Amino acid sequence: MSLQEGSDDASVIYCQPCGNILAEAFCTDCPEYFCSSCANVHEKQRLSSHHKLLRGPVMPSCHPSLGKQDHVSFMKCYQHPKEELKLFCETHEELCCVACNVIRHKQCKVVYIPDVAKDFKTGTEFIQLTMHLNDTEQLAAKHVANIEKIMKAVKQRKTSESTKLEQYRTEFKDYIDKRIDELLSQVEQMQDTDLKVLTEHHSRTKNIESDALTAKTKLKACEQNPIELFTESKQTRYIVVQLQADLTNVTTRTVHHVYTVWKDKEMESAQQQKTGIATIQLQPRTTSIIKNSFRYRKIQSDKTTTIPT
């Protein structure tokens, strides 16, 4: 039996068990249309008491068997995982299941998705959504290209600035090596000068010591002979005067360099502050890679007759 048999209006649907009474409910499990009486019986029967019934405006306007709607697998409701999202609340613009409809959207304008989805593809909302997606995709592509360009520049800058720092390292190392060599050379020169003078004075002093010891020995040998002791003592007196003069001359001229190496205050300060050699100067960062080519706007529903540009 045709679901619209005996009616001039193809949109009129009758109760399938009765055949001549207007349908008021639709069972999504069977699937089958029922009048009010049949729907009550269907809900009370043990085998069908758990079935879902759509009543009134949420009832589909045509039966799947007539081929007037697509056979789809509805998404599951995240709040009621066992229920399917077959309904749409136009009041809140939310997808909902039968349970959501009963709990939260009783007073709302709820429609059956297969009914409103027929012409959605050609409607304003879908066209706007596509436009937004295209704009977003194009802008994202520009962002990707710019970010990749900046990433390349960041790597190049790291390489170039690292090269400069390595150059500074070489320059300062060469300078420090040269300066240290100069200071070492000065130290070595002072040592050589001091050792030369001290060696000479050491030799002269040793000679004075030796001459004094020789004279002393001679006098000791003459102690038993008064005449020889007198004569030797007179001669030794002149020798002692000369030795003392030579010793005075050596002692007054025996000098050497006393020095200490100190870091320059600038170098000490740079090491303590840890800011020497070079400084990294940061430039202001760019706040936006590229300017958005579109402004965000709410996607209009199919009730809107014009598409904003």
Burial class (CB in 10 A: 0-12, 13-18, 19+), 110: buried
Averaged pLDDT, 170-192: 92
CA separation for the pair 8, 4 (Å, rounded): 8
Please tell me the predicted confidence (pLDDT) of residue 63: 62
Please tell me the predicted confidence (pLDDT) of residue 2: 35
Averaged pLDDT, 8-37: 80
pLDDT digits (tens, 9 = 90+) for 63-81: 655 544 444 567 888 888 8
Averaged pLDDT, 164-179: 91
Averaged pLDDT, 51-68: 71
Residue matched to tokens 């068990």: 17
Burial class (CB in 10 A: 0-12, 13-18, 19+), 49: exposed
Whether residue 108 has pLDDT greater than 70: yes
Reduce the DSSP state of residue 149 to 3 states and report it.
helix
CA separation for the pair 307, 81 (Å, rounded): 36
In this structure, which topology does domain 1-69 adopt according to CATH? 30s Ribosomal Protein S18 (4.10.640)
Please tell me the predicted confidence (pLDDT) of residue 4: 46
Task: Please state the pTM of the whole predicted model.
Answer: 0.49
Higher pLDDT among residues 174 and 290, named by residue: 174
Q: What angle do CA 156, 159, 160 make, to 5 degrees?
A: 85
List the chain domain ranges: 1-69, 126-273
Please tell me the predicted confidence (pLDDT) of residue 102: 85
Q: How far apart are the first and last CA of the chain?
A: 51
